[in-house]
Structure 1
Amino acid sequence: MTDTEDTKLDSPSPPRRVALYVTCLADLMRPSAAQASLELLQHAGCDVTVPTGQTCCGQPSYNSGDYSGAARIAQQVIEGFENFDYVVLPSGSCAGMMIEHYPALFEGEWRERALQFAGHVYELTTFLLEICDYHPPKQEHAKPVAYHDSCAGLRELAVRSQPRRLLERAGIEVQELSQPDVCCGFGGTFCAKMPAISGDMSDRKLKDIESTGCDTLLGGDLGCLFALAGRARRTGNDVHFRHVAEVLIGDDVTPPIAESEER
């Protein structure tokens, strides 16, 4: 073996080029979840870019039946992100939209581009565990937490064990809900169209959380967490809500969702 060949074999692999898709809810209402996601990816050895031209993933249009509008948004997302090695999102819902539904919006060349793009899209905890084999810093004296599996992440992307394994690696125990795979009642526009049913579903979820004895619920989708936190505040429930990325990165400064620093 020549010196040149030996040097080539010993050279470290280049870092993964990752585009972080922030999502609308993180951008507008919970930037700490996006910041935590960015830091986790960097700690995992990724070269992370946050493209400035990103907008909505198109899910609201798609779920409302505006497929042509959703397709226009999808084309914009694909064009802005397809040249990265990976696209990572702190949301199973938005990731599911890109992976499962973008290809269905198109035919021909754009369908092929959407399929190729979808193959590089990952929900955050799946990417950290399965692609990076990431080990978060151990957190001493961390209290047990409950965890909510969002419908889209669970059913479209099989996101269940990944966040739990990362939390376990961080030394954080998860106390399981009796019905962890039952909807929280948010469901996008469902909560606005059928508020009574949505509220009842949220109340049931809150009771399930209380039964664990934990005072904090984690999740990977801000829509679910916002809905539950809002319901909890309106009904006098004292459970706290955080995105799993915030806890994995050790963010103990940002107040829980729907709470002020003075609470």
Structure 2
Amino acid sequence: MPPTLGAGLGLKPEHYDAALACTAEAIWFEVHPENYFVDGGPRLAWLDAIRGKHPLSLHGVSLSLAADVPPERRALDSLAALVRRFEPALVSEHLAWSAWRGVYYPDLFPFPRTSDALARIADNIALTQDVLGRAIAIENPSHYLRIEDHAWGEADFLTELTRRTGCGLLLDVNNVYVSANNLGYDARAYLDSLPALAIMEIHLAGHSVDGEAAGLLVDSHDAPVAPEVWALYAYLIAKIGPRPTLVERDGNIPPFASLMDERAMAQAVLDRHVVRT
């Protein structure tokens, strides 16, 4: 893990001043680049100021890499402009689709993991990396229902994507826990099946219980990281070593100090496994 990237936080507008003043060692901040696809104004000025103090990560939500068409070129060019301007430490996207025939949807949808889908997504990742001039990391999804048409297991699918494209993995541990609960598989076995060297970044987040479907967990990002997710994270870091780790919070945003407390918990796990020379 590069020495400047330890545990980070998602950057929220209400926390810009606190983030700018933060002096925690190895902290970094992640944003959704789509919120900064503008030509000027205060948003870019704020991000310039933060980048002057801390490393940044760009975590995209709109390239729709699993769609049946390439990413929209205007979005790719806007992302490339941000990458050139801010030189982020990490760039990532989701293994999902979110656009169809020019219409964007406010969600990240699953797809059957077929060989055709693998080839299509590999092409879309390769195009993205060519335009950006760098490798990206692909995030494992959360699952809420079983799809019967999969020809590939998810870990094998992700592994093959990294082999074909040279991309890395963004491993969301909360997504693993939520999906394992909802589909009934072993979360640790899933972690064990992933290629450790390909994991570029880790996400931690909170989840909630669906009020309508008994036992269904939702990757809601509106609560603190659950104890079970912390336990999976500690298991993972002990196995693969420290990786840049983000604590995500997108709803019920607490004060910056509360997020820093969670961030300190993640940093403590990383610090326990740093190889000292």
State TM-score, norm by structure 2: 0.30
Q: Which has the larger radius of gyration?
A: 1
Greater helix share, structure number: 1
